[in-house]
Amino acid sequence: MSPTQIRMALISGAAGAALMLGACSDGTTTPAGGAALTVAQTADIGAAAADESDQAVDALDVRVTTNPAAFNISAPAGDHIAADMPPLQGCATVSSTEDTDGDGARDQSVFTYDPANCIFTGYRGGTLVLSGSVTISDPTPDVADFNYAATLDGFTWNFTAPAGDVSFITTRNGTRHLTANSSVLTLTNDVTAVRKVTGKADATISHNLQLVFTPAEGSSLVPGQPLPSGTIVKSGQVSWARGAESYTFTANTVTPLSYDSTCTQYPRYRRITAGEVHWMLPSGAYIRTVWSACGEKPTHTFVPAA
């Protein structure tokens, strides 16, 4: 991904590197004192966190932020639609194309998504409909660099999954900021998401995370070029609440996440091929999220306090 793509991806997305945990709950409430989470609770929380992580990793590429689905449908790996274009021809309306320093981050532009037009058939094997808006701005409009800021306003992903997966509607509000130099990218992700899954009460997930991307040895970040392979370290907190259930987790990157720019296995959006993050509860218990291969979903396991 190019620096521009890096910014767009960070904006739209998310984060989020793969932290969202989404599945079904059996209704059991875990006391604040640290009793074990059920398998269903672990799946729900893990999927929500992993989903935001995916979007945050995408947000390392500015173009993917305004073009979230186009990157993941049928284009060959690395073949992204230009940052100037909406996710689909005629999808988002764009308030301004001005980019004074030519670095791919608009000086100030609002992308507004009409759900009647922003329909992506084939996204992750299902169908994605976008609505809401994303504002992109360049904090250094006179200096060509990787920096950008994104504000999400009711940015909604309505995903109808293929058989066997979970359909959901997630609405995000918040901000993402990317800063970088030739050797490292830093994304701050302050986003609150409301996640709707059929048959369950809405869950609210607040992400206050930082992702640091370091290119692999011998690689560097070059404006206008795809993001090279490298590693991602995640830190910060995620709060998850649904009904009487409420938990706050601290992210602990046990093994840096490996981002493989050559991963082309479907679905291409899962380019994290290895790594481990623990979502720690105050009790010392945690949800263990592990990535193992190109194109594979991470696994989520609850580990009780010692």
DSSP symbols for 62-102: HHHHHSTTGGGTTSPTT-PPPTTS-SSTTSEEES----TT-
pLDDT of amino acid 76: 36
User: How far apart, in whole angstroms, are the C-alpha atoms of residue 44 and residue 50?
Assistant: 10
User: Across the strands, what pairs with 300?
Assistant: 289
pLDDT tens, 109-166? 998 999 998 888 877 778 889 999 999 898 988 887 788 899 999 999 998 988 767 7
Rounded to 10 deg, the angle between the 3-13 and 39-58 helix axes is: 150
110 is written with which tokens?
A: 């609002």
Whole-angstrom distance, CA of residue 301 vs CA of residue 297: 13
Closest by alpha carbon to 57, among 287, 113, 49?
A: 49
Query: pLDDT at residue 7 above 60?
Result: no
Mean pLDDT of 44-59: 77
The 3-state DSSP class for residue 40 equals helix
Q: What is the pLDDT of residues 171-205, one digit of tens each?
A: 999 999 999 877 899 999 999 999 998 888 999 99
User: What gap in Å lies between CA 269 and CA 5, rounded to an integer?
Assistant: 13
Extract the tokens encoding 204.
Answer: 């609210």
What does the pLDDT read at residue 86? 36
- Torsional sign, CA 22, 27, 32, 35: negative
pTM: 0.77
